[in-house]
Amino acid sequence: MAENGSEEVCQVTQPPPVRREVLWQWTGVWPGMPATPAAWLEQLQTFRKGWAETFAEALQRLRDSAGEQLLAAAGAIAAGLLTTAAREPEEFRARLVEFWLKSFDCLRPVAQLQLQAARFAEALARHVAGGMEAVSEAEYRHRLAVCEACVFFQDGQCLKCGCRLAGDVIAKARWRSETCPVGRWP
């Protein structure tokens, strides 16, 4: 209560809203950050497109792997059935070894895909943690040329680490934070 008996109303004033232009100017000084809303939108759309392409490629590899796994499982079942037809202990042992080898073969494609997915996730995390910095276009072209001459390069990806190497956004060869898994990039 105020001295004159009337209630005093406490008014809290809000700070003035931050103007968008100031925000864009402020974020524009950060390395690698677009300075305008249009640049943000363009970068986001490019990233989404690259991510969709990478995801589609990963799904196709998973489908292919499932087909390979099914064929390997059928081979393992056939080897298991042949094991029961063995007449001597040595023949039984040889057929049992073949059965187990074929059983593990049907698990290999899925394990390889899981390992490649984990390596790509690690590379993406390092790229984001490193401020999403890219190498120069000349260095990217050099890295890609080195990769294309490598025995582990197939269809735009590294068979050693499983990462996609070529592309506009989702391309390990463009990311400054990344190195070649066999040490061929300078």
Q: Please give the pLDDT value at position 31.
A: 59
Q: Is there a domain that residue 9 lies in?
A: no
Q: Is there a domain that residue 177 lies in?
A: yes
Do residue 136 and residue 174 come from a single domain? yes
Q: Sorting pLDDT into bands at 50, 70 and 90, what band is 146?
A: very high
Tell me the residue range of the domain where 71 lies: 56-106
Question: Number of structural domains, the chain?
Answer: 2
Give me the helices (H) in 29-136, please: 37-83, 89-105, 108-129
Q: Is there a domain that residue 168 lies in?
A: yes
Do residue 184 and residue 160 come from a single domain? yes
Do residue 159 and residue 126 come from a single domain? yes
- The residues, ordered by sequence, that sit 6+ positions from 61 with a Cβ below 8 Å of its Cβ are 113
pLDDT tens figures, 12-56: 555 555 566 666 666 666 655 665 667 667 767 777 777 777 777
The Cα–Cα gap between 172 and 20 comes to: 34
Do residue 83 and residue 133 come from a single domain? no
Q: What is the pTM of this model?
A: 0.54
Q: Is there a domain that residue 149 lies in?
A: yes
